[in-house]
Structure 1
Amino acid sequence: MPWPTKKLGEIISFEKGKKMAVANDGEPYIGIDGLRTNLYAVYTQEKNGVRCKQDDVLLVWDGAHAGTVGTGLRGFVGSTVVKVLHHNSLENKFLFYLLKLFQEKIRAAAQGAAIPHLSKAFINNLKIPLPSLKIQKQIVERLDKIAEAQKLQGELIQKADELFQSLLHQELNPAGKDWEMKKLGEVLEYEQPTKYLVISTDYKDEYPIPVLTAGKSFVLGNTNEKDGIFPKEKLPVIIFDDFTTAIKFVNFPFKVKSSAMKILHAKKNEADIRFMFYKMLTIKFSHDQHKRYWISECSNLKIPLPSLKVQKQIVAKLSAAQEYKSQLLAQKSKLK
């Protein structure tokens, strides 16, 4: 039997928080930051405000983070936040998960260019499924277990990352080791990316070839162009942003959007490309001027370089730590 549907406006209403004087102690005063972090950071000694209990559902109404949903906090509600009141046909935590489900739609419907505000009319007209309270509680129990598993997985991922960073600096520390000093340009050859530039930016997820940047976004999109694809037999490589000095390790065929990068290859019998990538992660390249850096500066930096055999041993340890983190990330994605 299908669940009945209701418009949210038929079963919820909003009580806007108030502006109150902040203090170093007193009762928690919950604003945007508190709701986003689920931590108490601001307090008030005033008593004439909108109180919320720990199981109340709160919603950021104004500002860049409008639409953020939270629960689990008690105190006074800040002026940019609302307390969501509801009919007794709704269980508090079920309402919280419902609003989380519609969070992106609610944000997208916010009004105002400079300071966005949520649209009450849009929220009130959202149609939601409304099972019985018994079923709501069963759903909440399942979602709580998933959220707890995600939290645990997140903690494991953080520890895996800490392990990798610790290993990175431990294994690449040259102290007490007879490693030869080499310039980066002596063991890494560069290739200009010109022949791999994408022609069209009409990217689609179903296209087979990723278009890369060395910047934070890494994959800009996918293309179906068949010419000018970086060949598999020349992989793996490091792509180096010539202006920001950002680096990415690449082991799959690709095209690029910009010519403002160098494609770096390790010289055979001298360097392992993944070792060089790990080593470059530990270098703080200077990039405070708007200029190209690889040829003029970075290629001339000297690094301690162990034998190729030792490089591969170090790579094996660091890659195992990264693989462990990748497995944890894959497991976490399945919990969504």
Structure 2
Amino acid sequence: MTWPTKKLGEILKSIESGYRPKGGVRHIREGVPSIGAEHLTSSGGFNFEKIKYIPRDFFEKLNRGIIRHGDVLVVKDGATTGRVSLVTNDFPFDKSAVNEHVFILRPNTENILSEFLFNFLFSEKGQRQILQTFHGMAQGGIDSKFVNFVEIPLPPLSEQKKIVEKIEKLFAKIDEAERLRAETLAASAALLPSAFHQVFNRAKKENWPTKKLREIAILNPKKQEVNSLSDDLLASFVPMSAVDEITQTIKEYEFRRLGSIKKGYTYFKEGDILFAKITPCMENGKVAIAKNLKNGIGFGSTEFHVLRPRDKVLAEWIFYIVGSHAFREEAERHMTGTAGQQRVPIGFLEDAKIPLPPLSEQKKIVAYLDALSQKSRELQKLQQQTAADFSALRQSVLAQAFNQNS
């Protein structure tokens, strides 16, 4: 049996978007949640860790963009255009609205179940159809006319219900497997913080001296050091994207002529520590030691601070301290600048105090942390691979569910 199809626009009660007060909402600390693209996850759910608000009186005057149970939300522009999430009964807000970057699709439930519509649009087939009308470059996206180009299979409601139940049953098994894998990842992620806690307890117990970073490291060394070198000399180049926040290593280097990079980029040399200063790179953990540089020198993004260890301190010791979650949380509290362009000022790093055990003790602790880091990285890579497998498995389930030949 072949299911009939309809254009998405034909089975919706409405499609609408929202808006926010003039001047934005960054300064608003309470009110009604304003849901944007950043709150929709790749798994079809929501992440409300960094919620934003609109004033209650502004919300009460809205005539569109108000979220209801059963709505399907679609990101309309930016890097995640087409991402969809379903507003289920366990959605945590009684009152909320979308902003100008999200569409609300409100289905006509006499023709289609919200869950059926969501699962189709979440499928690879649905995503391809949504994105076929994508237009624009820097901030491209879709407009409301996309609903006229998406073909929705439309079995009877009773059949839709069976399909949804089957999908949810299989997804529940995948969710449980993901939960168990996430527990393993959480346990691996706790290894280093636990080790640091032990280290700092020892620091207090054994009265290790504390030093300001500027006392034990040169911060942002001057590039005059390479002025005498030939412009034709090859050097390593490190864009921000080359630093892996999971492994905290440099994934790969580009090689460029010194003359093309020594102006306008950040200078460093073999053994220096690169510390991302801009949000969200710093919070995400983009910290690494520069190793195996071409001719021992490198240049990279201007959004790096560079730390060069002085005598009697290991680069790895500084790296583990400044790359730790606790240190980066403190750095985040000292960021300056406007939203989206906040940076860690060099003054914070200069005055940051860290414990400094004897060099022999640093070596022992670093060796221990290296072993833990390697174990943690292996588990995190496995989690990434497994996450991709789970995503593919979900799409396989959806592909079978929406096969029109029964």
Which TM-score applies when normalising by structure 1? 0.57
> Are 1:31 and 1:78, in contact at CA under 8 Å, matched by a contact in 2?
yes
Q: Is 1:160–2:188 an aligned residue pair?
A: yes
The residue identity in structure 1 corresponding to 2:273 is: I
Corresponding position of 1:256: 300
Per-residue deviation at 1:59?
A: 0.9
Distance change >3 Å, CA 308–CA 213, structure 1 → 2: farther
Distance 1:120 1:6 in 2: 23
Secondary structure at 1:249 match in 2: strand
Per-residue deviation at 1:140?
A: 6.2
Distance 2:171 2:131 in 1: 22
The residue identity in structure 1 corresponding to 2:306 is: I
> Are 1:236 and 1:249, in contact at CA under 8 Å, matched by a contact in 2?
no
Q: Is 1:176–2:205 an aligned residue pair?
A: yes
> Are 1:214 and 1:240, in contact at CA under 8 Å, matched by a contact in 2?
no
Distance change >3 Å, CA 59–CA 192, structure 1 → 2: farther
Encode CA deviations 1:132-187: one digit per residue, 9 max, x unaligned.
98998777665554444334433443443344323323313321114234443343
Distance change >3 Å, CA 61–CA 142, structure 1 → 2: closer
Distance 2:351 2:96 in 1: 55
Per-residue deviation at 1:105?
A: 7.4
Distance 2:321 2:173 in 1: 40
Corresponding position of 1:84: 107
Corresponding position of 1:96: 118
Encode CA deviations 1:211-230: one digit per residue, 9 max, x unaligned.
13899999999885432499
The residue identity in structure 2 corresponding to 1:237 is: D
Residues paired across the two proteins, number:
291
1:122 to 138, 146, 153: 146
Instruction: Give structure 1 stretches of 5+ with no counterpart.
Output: 19-29, 39-48, 197-207
Which TM-score applies when normalising by structure 2? 0.49
Corresponding position of 1:187: 216
The residue identity in structure 1 corresponding to 2:122 is: K
Corresponding position of 2:309: 266
Corresponding position of 2:89: 73
Secondary structure at 1:172 match in 2: helix
Distance 2:359 2:349 in 1: 22
Please identify which structure carries the higher helix content: 2
Encode CA deviations 1:36-75: one digit per residue, 9 max, x unaligned.
359xxxxxxxxxx9985xxx6x312699899541264269
Corresponding position of 1:36: 46
Distance change >3 Å, CA 272–CA 318, structure 1 → 2: same
> Are 2:11 and 2:107, in contact at CA under 8 Å, matched by a contact in 1?
yes
The residue identity in structure 1 corresponding to 2:107 is: V
Q: Is 1:211–2:239 an aligned residue pair?
A: yes
Corresponding position of 2:63: none
> Are 1:210 and 1:221, in contact at CA under 8 Å, matched by a contact in 2?
no
- In angstroms, what is the RMSD of aligned CA positions? 5.8
The residue identity in structure 1 corresponding to 2:354 is: I
Identity of aligned residues (%): 20
> Are 1:12 and 1:86, in contact at CA under 8 Å, matched by a contact in 2?
no
Greater CA drift, 79-88 or 248-257: 79-88
Corresponding position of 2:377: 326
Secondary structure at 1:36 match in 2: coil
Per-residue deviation at 1:262?
A: 4.4
The residue identity in structure 2 corresponding to 1:99 is: L
Encode CA deviations 1:204-256: one digit per residue, 9 max, x unaligned.
xxxx96413899999999885432499xxx54431246799957223454641
Encode CA deviations 1:286-321: one digit per residue, 9 max, x unaligned.
565999965x67446553311223223323443444
Distance 1:37 1:241 in 2: 25
Distance 2:109 2:9 in 1: 6
Greater CA drift, 247-256 or 217-226: 217-226
